[in-house]
Amino acid sequence: MRIAFFVGSFPSTSETFVLNQVTGLLDRGHEVFIYPCGGNTQGKEHGAVKQYGLGERTFSCSPPGNTWSRIATAAGLLTRHLPAHPVRLLKAANVFRHGRDAWRLARLKRCCFWINQERSDFDVILCHFGPHGSIACDLRRQGLISGKIATVFHAYDLTQFPRRHGNQVYRELFAEGDLFMPITAYARNKLLDLGCPKEKTVIHHMGVDCTRLAYQERNPRADQPFNVVTVGRMVEKKGFEYAIRAIAETTAAGHDVRGRFVGDGRLRPSLEELATTLGIRANVEFVGWQTQEQIARLLDQSHAMLVPSVTANSGDEEGLPVVLMEALAMGLPVVSTRHAGIPELIADGKTGFLVEERDSKALADRLGMLIDNGELSREMSRRGRRRVEEEFNIEKLNNQLVATLTRLVNGM
């Protein structure tokens, strides 16, 4: 199959699930091309990018950044392409019809980009996140690309985006798109609530490469600190605040707990200040952004992972964090929250612990249980690995993806 990926940025350090699908489809003999709609500024150092020559398969069609760049770009594009395509380009630049998208020249640049392509025919256009599915439908409607359109829905595109643009934001996408692939049952329900046709939906999980994630049973020693790791962007929905408070509670209960916080973001200064205020600044380390290899090493050095996700005041939610799958695959017991799709991976008391959102005392209580009960920790470790191998193994999931897309192309 000839497959186009429509994504935000590529490669992206926070969206390794896209990279896993791209390389998986290439491994299975398919032609793959990547079209970032919002830039491609992160994760270029990832080994797979060089190994698979993904730079040569990636073609940015993102709009220019500032006003003067937009003006210069518009002048150049119109000069080159207007004589041959006057109606198409003038429609794309119509701010009265298309508003901000036209003003930012996003539609005009996309239009000119695809006019210049030697080939724009695909078997499937696989779009990650709802807005990129809408872009693909718009391009197909204009006759600029062809192929079946499958859209993967994750999290913000089902929460923040409709909240900002209205619940009818995907009306045309739902009418014209060919397949919709929410990553969890929770996401599927959100999608159906927005009006997506039930018969066009199929749940497709994101996954991890179990062969590259070495499993090890955790055996913390009583005379050594208990190492806890939390990974993600330092934004409200990640709930880092409650991880810090849980570490403080666990420390106050007499346990020697050390926390590592991997990632960065606008909340980092306030989180560091909170750790100082709670008197545990010496017990926590903020290590900033790390490569996938560095994160794997940090997971290796940890005894448990905290994933205290919450629904942000803006309505933003998680999907199902891939790093949580990675932790389970490597044998880390996980303490998390009953949030979005997380309970579809974590079975409370079996593959980890789940507590209510924003309940730092409950998080601390479950951490204490892992510290005090080594056999429980080891059993959760074994069950967690099996769970990922069975249902979130990228090899199995990529085989399913090929089968799903083949059926789509064949009209089955």
Query: Which CATH entry fits the domain spanning 210-391: 3.40.50.2000, 3.40.980.10, 2.40.50.140, 3.40.50.1980?
Result: 3.40.50.2000
Domain locations along the chain: 2-207+393-409, 210-391
Per-residue pLDDT, averaged over 333-351, amounts to 96
pLDDT band at 94 (very low <50, low <70, confident <90, very high): low
Per-residue pLDDT, averaged over 281-307, amounts to 94
Determine how many CB atoms are found less than 10 A away from the CB of residue 69.
12
Per-residue pLDDT, averaged over 367-381, amounts to 93
% of the chain surpassing 70 pLDDT: 87
pLDDT band at 111 (very low <50, low <70, confident <90, very high): confident
Q: Please tell me the predicted confidence (pLDDT) of residue 317.
A: 94
The answer to whether residue 303 scores a pLDDT higher than 90 is yes
On the question of a common fold for 2-207+393-409 and 210-391, the answer reads: yes
Q: Please tell me the predicted confidence (pLDDT) of residue 67.
A: 52
Q: Please tell me the predicted confidence (pLDDT) of residue 50.
A: 87
CATH superfamily of 2-207+393-409: Glycogen Phosphorylase B; (3.40.50.2000)
What are the pLDDT digits (tens) for 152-177? 999 999 999 999 999 999 999 999 99
Mean pLDDT of the chain: 89
Which one has a higher pLDDT value, 221 or 256? Answer: 256
Q: What values do phi and psi take at 28, rounded to 5?
A: -90, 10
What are the pLDDT digits (tens) for 224-253? 899 999 999 999 999 999 999 999 999 999
The answer to whether residue 179 scores a pLDDT higher than 90 is yes
pLDDT band at 12 (very low <50, low <70, confident <90, very high): confident
What are the pLDDT digits (tens) for 252-275? 999 999 999 999 999 999 999 999
CA 374 to chain centre: 32
